[in-house]
Amino acid sequence: MAFVQRQLLDSGVAILTLDDPARRNALSVDMVGDIMATFDWLEREDSARSVVITGAGSAFCAGADLKALASASQASLREIYEGFMRIAESPLPVVAAVNGAAVGAGVNMALVADVILCAQSAAIDTGFIRLALHPGGGHTWMMRHLIGPQATAAMVIFGERIDGARAEQIGLAWRCFPDDELLDNAIRLAARAAESPPELIARVKQTISEMHAVETHEEALDKELLDQIWSTGQAEFRERLSAVQNQISS
- For 126-198, list the strands marked E by DSSP: 162-163, 175-177
Q: Does 41 score more than 80 pLDDT?
A: yes
DSSP state at residue 212: G
Go through 105-141 and write b for each residue having 16 or more CB atoms within 10 A of its CB, e for each that does not. Answer: bbbbbbbbbbbbbbbebbbbbbbbeeeeeebbbbbbe
8: helix, strand or coil = strand
Q: According to the model, what pLDDT value does residue 174 have?
A: 98
pLDDT in tens, 8-33: 999 999 999 999 999 999 999 999 99
Sequence-separated (6 or more) residues with CB below 8 Å from residue 157: 129
Residue pLDDT, tens place only, 47-66? 999 999 999 999 999 998 88
Q: What is the pLDDT of residue 249?
A: 84
Instruction: Measure CA 219 to chain center.
Output: 27
Cα angle 185-186-187, degrees, rounded to a multiple of 5 = 90
How much is the pTM? Answer: 0.95
Cβ atoms within 10 A of the Cβ of 243, count?
A: 10
Which helix (H) or strand (E) segment holds residue 168: the answer is helix 164-170
Does residue 68 have a pLDDT over 80? no
Q: pLDDT tens digits, residue range 151-166?
A: 999 999 999 999 999 9
Q: State the pLDDT at residue 67.
A: 80
Query: What integer pLDDT is reported at residue 36 of this predicted model?
Result: 97
pLDDT at 95: 98
